[in-house]
Amino acid sequence: MFLFLKKILCTHSIFINFTYIWRNIITQVFMKVLVCISHVPDTTSKINFIEDDTKFDVQGVQFVINPNDEFGLTRAMWLKEKQGASIDVINVGNQSSEPTLRKALAIGADRAIRINSDPNDGFFVAKQISEYIKNNTYDLIIAGRESIDYNGAMVPGLIAGFLNINYVTNCIKLEIDNENVLLDREIDGGKETLKGKLPLIIGGQKGLVEESDLRIPNMRGIMQARQKPLEVIEPYDFNSNTETLKFQKPLPKQAVKLVDSENLDELINLLHNEAKVL
Amino acid sequence: MPVITYIESSNGKIKKNGFELASYSSELAKLLNTTAIALTVNVSDCSELGNYGISKALKISDDSLNEFNASTYADIITQAVNKTGANTIVVSSSLDSKYLAPILSANIEAAYINNVISLPSNLDPFTVKRTAFTNKAFSDTSSNSEKVIVGLSNNSFGLIENSIPIDEEIFEVSISNSNLSVESSEKVSGKISIADADIVVSAGRGMKGPENWNLIEDLADTLGAATACSKPVSDMGWRPHSEHVGQTGKPVATNLYIAIGISGAIQHLAGINSSKIKVVINSDPEAPFFKAADYGIVGDAFDVVPRLNEKLKEFKAQNS
Ligand SMILES: Cc1cc2nc3c(=O)[nH]c(=O)nc-3n(C[C@H](O)[C@H](O)[C@H](O)COP(=O)(O)OP(=O)(O)OC[C@H]3O[C@@H](n4cnc5c(N)ncnc54)[C@H](O)[C@@H]3O)c2cc1C
Ligand SMILES: Nc1ncnc2c1ncn2[C@@H]1O[C@H](COP(=O)(O)O)[C@@H](O)[C@H]1O
């Protein structure tokens, strides 16, 4: 009965807001931040497929923290250092993503959570993370605007939809003052400044911090990371709602047509008559 | 069950990508033996959508919607989906649509497949081709949900004219409140954004310094193009971040991408690969970008670009 009630309450956003307010009233805790970490092939990776083009070939591929999440993690570190915040990092993945989570701990996160499953699609990942958040209230959830492997651009938006919390993506600036937040969002052809309140989830990207601000783990961090908790939890029973059936690589490109730099009319002619783009 | 597509507008005018969405949606509707409905916000005249096979426009008109809000917009699309019983929803790949689509997907428990570049190759299960690994690959992805949201990649389908009578209907919605408010917004006025542009002129470290960007801007002006840059150029502050394109920057899917003084690193190429025609101007014949280009000029940008600009001006004068 109790479980049943909790299930009903859980699916309702009021529950989230209620526990959120309640926690802040009775306990004077620091801000709790959750950073979603996607474990992706390094940007220089050559992409190949195996098993009749149904699986990504991990052979020889180095995996890294998704670049958009790296900006978010550094922004979270600043919140920890300047405003007092605890930083949890979460990944939905199998054991192979643990080095990536350890790296996040070495950069300075306090605690890592891995939901033990193959991240089949964004819907599945977002459901898993949402369930976790329901049972572990956070003030701020930082994800990336998109992963560079799946490019779903959907996990944070889905979490926002499932939990009914404020959501801003393409976030290039985030300032928090108590429960008030001020954010910049990139829009097509410019940017927009938004005001809102915690709890909040963002899809971050470069701009949240600069490239030169990004943290790399130092020796001390790496040593400390070994002692930090990395909790593995089993997934909820959800189905993905999409399936990737087959991959293809782009067809090899035809050789470039070189035009002599003294013959620019020829280039214009080709663009106009052959390519038909002028 | 009809196909429904959310058509974006700005200042009451349908955005250019709206006609591509309309074309795609009506072709998709044909495959599904149904009709295509467009949903618009604050657009008084939707008749033009009829030229691209849309048989009905649901028009929402409310001043409070002039400012885009993702959850509010996801909500009104949800209402349109409920009203029409649509199982297939088509949205664009603009930043706004990519913002609202996952919220919509959570609302209606639909599968969301973005970066889609083709009509379905199979209807049961609904299977489409999309780009993955930031344009380094494609995948055939299927939905096993009753409802599916297709996010169509810019310039991937083109326009298909198919004039039919369009029925325009006012659609009343209830508008939800949002806890997020827009304080201010800055748009670079008079400039074409990378997302809307047919042509993008992009430049890299080969331009030596920000003081030389007038060459790039002049060329872009002549072509009616947007300007873009490689990552180091924006990292060094020569150009604004919003111009950074590539795997970790903005994706570019234009008809013509002109790369000047850019070496063609794998991370740069990944972001611009889905542009149709690529022209490279680089002084180094060994620059990797030439391998990914359709047309190339080996030469010094400081010599070639101004001359190309003059030639293009002549061409434009003769052809307009
Ligand atoms: C994690 C990660 C993510 C990255 N993401 C991106 C990304 O999203 N986008 C991106 O662009 N890069 C990205 N990069 C950087 C990328 O690897 C390259 O370093 C970068 O693209 C190089 O920029 P560039 O071509 O402007 O400069 P360079 O590599 O320095 O090339 C300059 C080019 O200009 C040519 N040149 C010089 N003088 C002239 C002249 N007078 N006329 C004509 N040509 C001239 C040279 O021959 C050379 O080819 C990323 C790197 C990493 C590690
Ligand atoms: N398997 C995952 N585990 C944790 N976070 C993820 C995972 N996949 C995606 N994310 C988060 O969601 C963001 C957007 O990913 P995507 O929707 O795949 O483009 C990423 O930048 C991550 O922050």
Considering CB atoms only, which of B102, B195, B297 is closest to A161?
B102
Give the domain extent around A51. Answer: 31-233
Q: Distance between CA A170 and CA A187 in Å, rounded? A: 8
Is residue A10 helix, strand or coil? helix
Residues 236-265 of A with CB under 8 A from B: 239-250, 253-254, 256-261, 264-265
Separation CA A215–CA A212 (nearest Å): 8
Among B230, B248, B289, B308, residue to substitute to test ligand 1 (most atoms within 8 Å of Cβ): B230
Cβ contacts (< 8 Å) between B224 and chain A: which residues? none
CATH code, A127? 3.40.50.620
Q: Are residues A7 and A38 in the same domain?
A: no
Q: Which of A68, A239, A268 sits opposite B312 (nearest CB)?
A: A268
User: Is the entire prediction scored with pTM above 0.90?
Assistant: yes
Whether the per-residue pLDDT at A13 is higher than 80: the answer is no
Residue A112 near residue A102 (C-beta atoms within 8 A):
yes
Burial of A18-40, coded b for 16+ CB within 10 Å and e otherwise, reads ebbeeebeeeeeebbbbbbbbbb
Q: Which of B99, B194, B297 sits opposite A259 (nearest CB)?
A: B297
**pLDDT of A208 above 90:** yes
What stretches of chain A adopt beta strand conformation (E)? 31-36, 39-41, 49-50, 55-56, 63-65, 85-93, 111-116, 140-144, 166-177, 180-187, 190-197, 200-204, 230-233, 242-248, 257-258
Asked whether residue A18 carries a pLDDT value surpassing 60, the answer given is no
CA-angle at A71, arms to A33 and B179, nearest 5° = 50
**In a domain? residue A273:** no
Ligand 2 pocket member A143 (CB < 6 A): yes
Query: Which of B136, B269, B305 to mutate: most A Cβ within 10 Å?
Result: B136
Answer yes or no: is pLDDT of A9 > 90. no
- Are B308 and A264 within 8 A, CB to CB? yes
> Looking at beta carbons, which residues of chain A come within 8 Å of B267?
43-44
In a shared domain, residues A55 and A189: yes
Asked whether residue A19 is assigned to any structural domain, the reply reads: yes
Residue A272 covered by a domain:
no
For the purposes of burial, counting CB atoms within 10 Å of the CB of B286, is it exposed (0-12), middle (13-18) or buried (19 or more)?
exposed
Report percent pLDDT > 70 for chain B.
Answer: 100
Q: CA-CA distance, B151 to B317, in Å (whole number)? A: 38
- Both A90 and A120 in one domain: the answer is yes
* Domain boundaries defined on chain B: 3-179, 199-318
- What confidence score (pLDDT) does residue A26 get? 45
The reported pLDDT for the residue numbered B312 is 97
**Co-location of A40 and A134 in the same domain:** yes
Number of domains in chain A: 2
How far lies A192's CA from each of A185, A188, B96, in Å? 5, 10, 12
Q: Residue B51 CB: number of other CB atoms within 10 A?
A: 17
In terms of domains, do A173 and A134 share one?
Answer: yes
Domain annotation covers residue A215: yes
Let me know if residue A244 belongs to a domain.
no
The answer to whether residues B37 and B67 touch, using CB atoms and an 8 Å cutoff, is no
Q: Do domains B3-179 and B199-318 have the same CATH topology?
A: yes
Chain A: residue whose CA lies nearest to B228: A189
Mean pLDDT for A44-67 is: 96
- Nearest Cβ partner of B187 from A160, A189, A278? A189
Tell me: do A63 and A18 sit in the same domain.
no
Residues A262, B194, A173: CA angle, nearest 5 degrees: 130
B287 C-beta closer than 6 A to ligand 1: yes
Residue closest to A69 by CA, chosen among A115, A37, A30: A37
Q: Which residues contact A232 (CB under 8 A, 6 or more apart)?
A: A113, A114, A116
Ligand 1 centroid distance, CA of B255 (Å): 22
Q: Is residue A73 located within the same domain as residue A62?
A: yes
Residue A252 pLDDT: 87
pLDDT digits (tens, 9 = 90+) for A109-151: 999 999 999 999 999 999 999 999 999 999 999 999 999 999 9
Contact yes or no for A33/A75 (Cβ under 8 A):
no
Give residue B191's pLDDT.
81
Fold of the B199-318 domain: Rossmann fold (3.40.50)
**Residue A155 resides in a domain:** yes
What is the 8-class DSSP label of residue B250? Answer: B
A129, A17: one domain: no
**Residue A7 to residue A72: CA distance in whole angstroms:** 31
Which CATH number is B3-179's, of 3.90.550.10, 3.40.50.620, 2.40.30.270, 3.40.718.10?
3.40.50.620
Residue A25 and residue A35 in one domain: no
Query: Count of CB atoms within 10 A of residue A1's CB?
Result: 5
Indicate if A70 and A137 belong to the same structural domain.
yes
Contact list, B109 vs chain A (CB under 8 Å): 241
CA nearest to A199, candidates A23, A10, A38: A23
* Residues β-bridged to residue B90: B5, B150
Residues A70 and A3 in one domain: no
Q: Within 13 Å of residue B288, how many CA atoms lie on the same side as its CB?
A: 8
Residue B309, pLDDT above cutoff 80: yes
Nearest 10 degrees: CA dihedral of A162, A164, A165, A168?
Answer: 70
Name the region of B158 (left: φ>0; alpha: ψ -120 to 50; beta: rest): left
pLDDT score for A30: 81
Which of these, A30, A20, A31, A3, lies nearest to A163 by C-alpha position?
A20
The CA distance from A41 to A47, in Å, is 9
pLDDT tens per residue, range B36-81: 999 999 999 999 999 999 999 999 999 999 999 999 999 999 999 9
What's the whole-number mean pLDDT along residues B261-272? 96
- For residues A92 and A13, state if they share a domain: no
Ligand nearest A208 Cα, by number? 2
Residue B40 and residue B17: Cα distance in Å, rounded?
13
**Mean pLDDT value of segment A59-81:** 97
> Side chain identity at B263, as an amino acid letter?
S
Alpha carbon nearest to ligand 1 atom 49, residue = B263
Please write the tens of the pLDDT for every residue from B200-249: 999 999 999 999 999 999 999 999 999 999 999 999 999 998 899 999 99
**A224 CB contacts (<8 Å, ≥6 apart)?**
A105, A106
Joined together, the tokens standing for residue A107 give: 């950069």
Structure tokens at A130: 């949402």
Q: Which of residues 35-94 of A touch B (CB under 8 A)?
A: 41, 43-44, 47, 49, 67-68
